[in-house]
Amino acid sequence: MAAEREPATPGELFRQLREARKIRSVRELARRSGVSHTRLTELENATGPENLQSDTIRRIARALSVTPELIERIASGVMDALPDDLDAHGGPRDKSRDDRYRGRNYPVRYLGSVSAGFDGDGYAEPLDYLAVADFFVNDYDPDDLYALQVTGDSMVSDDVRLSIPEGSIILVHKNLAPKPGNVVVVWLEDQERGILKKFKPDEDEDIWLVSYNAKHPPIKITEETPATLRGVMIGHWAKAPGF
């Protein structure tokens, strides 16, 4: 007769959950969740119940694409094994909808505003992480994405399909090569600031950065106005007017 399996400790369950989500190390989970490496290491070594603050529960749940309730149950020691179907604990899913809406969220770095979210040498440490639905993430690696909040009115357009009003959140892929018409985030080295513009090369292979709002003149990239591409916008969303 086979011996009964010993119940897993909270620490073992946290480790198993991380590995099930294909997050290779505690350090990587710390980067994705915004919870300190030390605290996550303590959790994976826990042999008994752990008291977690609600914000810590929320961050870990978001990084692991599960509900906060599952994280809370693991931490409290009431579970001795992970559920057989983890995705069933990843949030509501409407099975009548297209498979594009799989119900999972991914943590994406939020770097602040488009004019101050990064510096000339690279990307700033994230201010927070945003949970982004897989409909927007698509087949991209979430580690290649970051989010910024738009300031100013240069990308406001009369065509509501194009307009990116102030306060919008944009989702940016840092490694895509821009195509004509793409909206890009660019670092202007002479002004030491980041801007959001439409990428528009011309017949002479000159590069122009164009605003949707005609009140803002286009910017030509030259040796006198050097710029560094920081990514291509792959999506954006905004609150409804009045909120």
Domain borders along the chain are: 10-89, 105-237
Tokens of 203: 């017949």
Domain 105-237 has CATH 2.10.109.10: yes
Chain-centroid distance, C-alpha 47: 32
Condensed to tens digits (0 to 9), the pLDDT of residues 132-179 reads 887 788 778 888 899 999 988 899 888 888 899 888 999 999 888 899
* Prediction pTM value: 0.56
Q: How many angstroms separate the CA atoms of 106 and 205, rounded?
A: 38
Report the 10 Å Cβ neighbour count for 224: 7
Question: What topology is assigned to 10-89 in CATH?
Answer: 434 Repressor (Amino-terminal Domain) (1.10.260)
Q: In what order do the strands lie in the sheet with 128-133?
A: 128-133, 105-113, 145-149, 169-173, 227-237, 183-188, 193-201, 207-210, 219-221
Condensed to tens digits (0 to 9), the pLDDT of residues 99-140 reads 433 456 778 888 888 854 555 455 566 788 888 887 788 778
DSSP label at residue 187: E
Nearest to 231 by CA among 179, 181, 178: 178
For the residues of 114-131, what is the DSSP string, one character each?
TTTSEETTEEPPPSEEEE
pLDDT at 240: 75
pLDDT band at 210; cut points 50, 70, 90: very high
71 CB-contact burial (10 Å; exposed 0-12 / middle 13-18 / buried 19+): buried
| Helix, strand, coil percent values for the chain (each to nearest 5) | 25, 25, 50
